[in-house]
Amino acid sequence: MGGSGGNTLTYLNRGGAIQDAEMEVLAEWEEENDVEIQFQSAAEDSEMMESIAADPSGYDIVTLSPYGYGLDAVHPQYSDEEYFADIDYDQVPNYEENIQEEWREIDFLQGHDKGLFYHVSAQGLAYNTEHVDGIESWEDIKDPDLEGQVTLFGSAPTRFGQCCAALGYDVAEALEDDDLFDEVFEEIEAQHQNVYQYWATGDQFMGDLSEEQAHVASAWGGRVESLYHDGVPVDYTIPEEGCVQWSVAFSILEESDMKAEAYDLLNWIYQEDVALEMVDQHYYPIPLTGDHEELEGRFESLDADAVVSFDWEAVIANIEDIEQRFDQILAS
């Protein structure tokens, strides 16, 4: 039996501000359909996949980033199992009607039918506008004036991807060429010099920025926009060299016995008015077709070319080497 069965649909997501927004917006669907959504959260994709592998019948819907789909495809712990159902697109007509094609066909959803694009997210750079004139490039975070004022996401594969972007290297090529691989880690070490700590959850970098412990942070644009609306003097940029995409998609669990309800919920979310209300609550743009005032001026970019495509499957296949080298930098 998938999820909780009966009149309960179990939804695994990242928690935080996004979950708070979803709980508020989706309450209308719950009432209309007499179905309770049980929200469960995990901080990142590795934890999500571990939870799903431990109890594949315990969830109905999950949101994953490109890294999560990479884990599902090639990680030996997951790749031999069919955790996610192939999407029946006929059950979600609002998706193809209302979501921009370039995002429906984004690279991490190619080669499989396991996901429906949800919202745009990138991991660019946030900065305090009262202490930093501006950030345009990854080079800027190495400025000696920022010593002890930078916090970055402490994920080894993400650091590898970001520094490939900073150097203009293709991830797969850097993994196959020892010289390029070494250069990427030299860049990771160079960016490390001004870091006073690495963060693990969005709440951490938000707290550091709002309390002015950090003047620069790698960050998700939607979270930074929420700080801005709370009166924190921050801005957000995608570095000119590009950055890691952290957009997410919905998947339905193969063992769910609530698939009909899951499809109905997702189709409901992809209605224009519901999607716009969701964006207004959590600040992460859902790339709707047409012009919408609510999508203008967002911190996250709706330009699908503004982020760099990474071969996360290649990264995961080399994860032990990447994590070992990163740990050496942290210990130095």
pLDDT band for position 294 (50/70/90)? very high
Q: How far apart are CA 48 and CA 62, in angstroms?
A: 8
Residue 7 has pLDDT above 50, yes or no: yes
Determine if the pTM surpasses 0.85: yes
Q: How far apart are CA 3 and CA 260, in angstroms?
A: 13
Q: What's the 3-state SS for the chain?
A: CCCCCCCEEEEEECCHHHHHHHHHHCHHHHHHHCCEEEEEECCCHHHHHHHHHHCCCCCCEEEECHHHHHHHHHCCCCCCCCCECCCCHHHCHHHHHHECHHHHCCHHHCCCCCCEEEECCEEEEEEECCCCCCCCCHHHHHCHHHCCCEEEECCHHHHHHHHHHHHCCCHHHHHHCHHHHHHHHHHHHHHHCCEEEEECCHHHHHHHHHCCCCCEEEEEHHHHHHHHHCCCCEEEECCCCCCEECCEEEEEECCCCCHHHHHHHHHHHCCHHHHHHHHHHHCCCCCECCCCHHHCCCCCCCCHHHCECCCHHHHHHCHHHHHHHHHHHHHC
Mean pLDDT (whole number) for 283-288: 97
Bridge partners of 126, per DSSP, are 217, 236
In the numeric block, which tokens belong to residue 102?
Answer: 């370039």
Identify which of 74, 112, 67 has the alpha carbon closest to the alpha carbon of residue 246.
Answer: 67
Q: How far apart are CA 159 and CA 144, in angstroms?
A: 20
Handedness of CA 54, 58, 59, 60 (dihedral sign): positive
In single-letter form, the type of residue at position 16 comes to G
Q: How far apart are CA 110 and CA 176, in angstroms?
A: 23
Output the CA–CA distances (angstroms, integers) from residue 306 to 37, 76, 264, 303, 314, in the order listed: 34, 32, 32, 5, 22
Helix axes 178-192, 156-167, angle to 10 degrees: 100
Q: Are 305 and 60 in contact (CB under 8 A)?
A: no
Residue 3 has pLDDT above 80, yes or no: no
- How far the first Cα of the chain sits from its last, in Å, is 49
Between 123 and 1, where is the model more confident? 123
Please report the pLDDT score of residue 1 as a whole number: 41
Summarised one tens digit per residue, pLDDT across range 221-241 is 999 999 999 999 999 999 999
Mean pLDDT (whole number) for 192-197: 98
Q: Compute the mean pLDDT over every residue in the chain, rounded to the nearest whole number.
A: 95
Please report the pLDDT score of residue 5 as a whole number: 53
Q: How far apart are CA 185 and CA 164, in angstroms?
A: 9
Summarised one tens digit per residue, pLDDT across range 243-260 is 998 899 999 999 999 999
Q: Are 146 and 213 in contact (CB under 8 A)?
A: no
Summarised one tens digit per residue, pLDDT across range 80-129 is 999 999 999 999 999 999 999 999 999 999 999 999 999 999 999 999 99
Residue 4 has pLDDT above 60, yes or no: no
The percentage of the chain sitting over the pLDDT mark of 70, rounded to a whole number, equals 98
Domains and CATH numbers, the chain: 8-121+245-301 (3.40.190.10), 123-244+308-331 (3.40.190.10)
Residue 147 has pLDDT above 50, yes or no: yes
Collect all residues with Cβ–Cβ distance below 8 Å to 132 and sequence separation of at least 6: 146, 215, 216
Q: Are 315 and 161 in contact (CB under 8 A)?
A: yes
Around Cβ 84, how many Cβ atoms within 10 Å? Answer: 24
